[in-house]
Amino acid sequence: MENRIIQTYGEDIWKMTTEVLEKAKLGKMIPKGSYIGIKPNLAVAKPSSSGATSSPIIVSALIEYLKKEGHDNIIILESSWIGDSTKRAYKVCGYEDISKKYNVPLFDVKDDTYTMKNYNGMDIEVSDKLLSVDFLINIPVLKGHCQTLVTGALKNMKGCISDREKRRFHARGLHTPIAYLNKVIKQDFILVDGICGDLDFEEGGNPVIMNRIFCGSDPVLIDSYMAENIGYKPYDVEYIKIAEEIGVGSADIDNAEVIILSKDETIAKPSASRKVQRLAQYVEAKQSCSACYANLIRALSRLDDEGLLYKFKNKPILIGQGFKGIEKEGIGIGQCTKGISKNIGGCPPSTTSILEFLKRV
């Protein structure tokens, strides 16, 4: 499924996870008897509701699916960022409970021994436990990042190196070492937590409810799709471009097969985040589905970055099912607002398409 992305929307995280795994036939992709590693994003000790970390519900549903498919040799491995405790993150994020319930060990990469790998003259110190795994399942969070714009499947592998190596990554500028890391280690399957990732900060605090989960096996393609979900073009993220150039995968979203299993029909709820509330002041929403609303909020965040929000100060952007059948002057987002004079269709329209549309109006 190299050029395939399978996605679903909704609020039932367990059901959504199981649906995409079954559609992908993950169980058949894994050789019998494989030692399976699950790599979540637990960079900080904050619950997934903060927009920073991988949902324990997704991981629990994944483990139950794997066991049902006859795969029992499973380990969860992670290394929180420098200055935070992986063990504390496991506890705060609900992973200790997962470990006890399913008898799946939690491994702290900070306590590991390491092997020096090399690509193109760059030495990278990689976890020995990670190297012992036969099949690696990566669970990144669909969220922004203050330095690299996006943190996705490729960057989440940074939790498989030593803290000493993490410091070197920052000294080297992050992008090239992130790409090179993915030449010396391989992730076999990516399951993206797109439930409520942060707008633009890896530590969380401004979660946007997006209610989506998607999966694939090409980390470059997945990260390109993640970038577009947040409002960037794939090559805006330097490590995506480098990773494609060195053969890690393809960033060609236009020719990818994106399979949508179900559309989002959940109504968007008010956010507690002050930043999201500020962006929402530019929106008039009437019964908007959360996926469509989230894509608009992320597009507005990108406009804010570029200093273009002022254009909409006295022109609220209309969105939601409450505008069906209404014809009037204004700016409308999504197929429900097709009667609005300036409108972009789609159900939902992507963040990138909304962004380009709003720049033109």
CATH of the domain at 215: 3.40.50.11440
| Angstrom distance (rounded) from CA 165 to CA 113 | 13
In a domain, 20, yes or no: yes
Please report the pLDDT score of residue 268 as a whole number. Answer: 64
Collect all residues with Cβ–Cβ distance below 8 Å to 281 and sequence separation of at least 6. Answer: none
> CB neighbours of 121 closer than 8 A, spacing ≥ 6?
none
Asked if 173 and 234 sit in the same domain, the reply is yes
Whether residue 290 has pLDDT greater than 90: no
- Binned at pLDDT 50, 70 and 90, residue 269 comes out as low
For residue 208, what pLDDT is reported? 84
pLDDT at 264 over 90: no
Pair (172, 309) in one structural domain: no
Domain end, chosen from 260, 285, 318, is at 260
pLDDT tens figures, 148-205: 788 899 999 999 999 999 999 988 988 999 999 999 999 999 999 999 988 765 666 6
- Residue 291 in this model has a pLDDT that exceeds 80: no
Give the lowest-confidence range in 21-30, 37-46, 149-158, 204-213.
204-213
Residue 265 in any domain: the answer is: no
Of 40-54, 136-150, 215-229, the range with the lowest mean pLDDT is 136-150
Phi, psi at 13, each rounded to 5°: -60, -40
- The tally of domains found in the chain comes to 2
- The parent domain of residue 298 ranges over 274-360
Q: Do 298 and 242 share a structural domain?
A: no
Same domain, 245 and 284: no
Q: Are residues 141 and 14 in the same domain?
A: yes
Which pLDDT belongs to residue 1?
64
The answer to whether 232 and 87 have CB atoms below 8 angstroms apart is no
* pLDDT average, residue stretch 36-45: 96
Q: Is it the case that residue 56 has pLDDT exceeding 90?
A: yes
pLDDT in the model for residue 304:
87
Beta-carbon count within 10 A of 343 CB: 21
Residue 38 inside a domain? The answer is yes
**What pLDDT is recorded for position 19?**
98
Q: Are residues 211 and 322 in the same domain?
A: no
Q: Are residues 256 and 288 in the same domain?
A: no
The mean pLDDT value for 211-235 works out to 95
Whether residue 267 is contained in a domain is answered as no
- Percentage of the chain beyond pLDDT 70 is 95
End of a domain among 260, 293, 323? 260
What is the residue type of 201?
F
In-domain check, residue 269: no
Percent of the chain clearing pLDDT 90 (strictly above): 64
Is 268 part of any domain? no
The 3-class secondary structure across the chain, one letter per residue, is: CCCEEEEEECCCHHHHHHHHHHHHCHHHHCCCCCCEEEEECCCCCCCHHHCCCCCHHHHHHHHHHHHHCCCCCEEEEECCCCCCCHHHHHHHCCHHHHHHHHCCCEEEHHHCCEEEEEECCEEEEEEHHHHHCCEEEEECECEEECCCEEECHHHHHHHHECHHHHHHHHHCCCHHHHHHHHHHCCCCEEEEEECCCECCCCCCCCECCCCEEEEECCHHHHHHHHHHHHCCCHHHCHHHHHHHHCCCCCCCHHHCEEEECCCCCCECCCCCCHHHHHHHCCEEECCCEHHHHHHHHHHHHHHHHCCCHHHHCCCCEEECHHHCCCCEEEEEECHHHCCEEEEECCCCCCHHHHHHHHHHC
- The reply to whether 255 and 292 lie within a common domain is no
Contact (Cβ atoms closer than 8 angstroms) between residue 323 and residue 293: no
Q: Take residue 297 and report the two structure tokens written for it.
A: 């909020």
Average pLDDT, the chain: 92
Question: In this predicted structure, what is the pLDDT of residue 151?
Answer: 85
Residue 38 has pLDDT above 80, yes or no: yes
Residue 112 lies in a domain: yes
CA distances from 266 to 68, 262, 288 (A): 30, 12, 8
What is the model's pTM? Answer: 0.86
Q: Domain check: are 84 and 198 in the same one?
A: yes
Residues 281 and 247 in one domain: no
Question: 242 and 110 in one domain?
Answer: yes
Judgement on whether residues 346 and 252 belong to the same structural domain of the protein: no
pLDDT score for 271? 61
- Tens digits of per-residue pLDDT, 91-103? 999 999 999 999 9
Rounded CA-CA distance 215/38 in Å is 14
